[in-house]
Amino acid sequence: MAKITAGNLIQQINDMRGNITAVARRFGVSRTTIYKHINKYPTVKVALDEAREEMIDNAESVLYQQVLGGNMTAVIFFLKTQGKRRGYSERQELELLGDKTIGIRVEYSDDYTRPTASDSAGGYRQQRIIQRAGERETMGEDTPGD
pLDDT in tens, 103-124: 777 776 666 555 555 544 443 4
Q: Where are the domains of the chain?
A: 6-63, 101-142
- Using DSSP's 3-state secondary structure scheme, residue 128 falls into strand
Under a CB-based contact definition with an 8 Å cutoff, are residues 9 and 37 in contact? Answer: yes
Average pLDDT over residues 128-136: 43
CA distance 105 to 131: 11
Q: Which of left, alpha, beta for 70 (phi over 0: left; psi -120 to 50: alpha)? A: left
pTM above 0.85, yes or no: no
The beta strand positions in 20-134, using DSSP E, are: 101-105, 126-132
Residue 10 has pLDDT above 80, yes or no: yes
pLDDT in tens, 32-91: 999 999 999 999 999 999 999 999 999 999 999 999 999 999 999 999 889 888 888 777
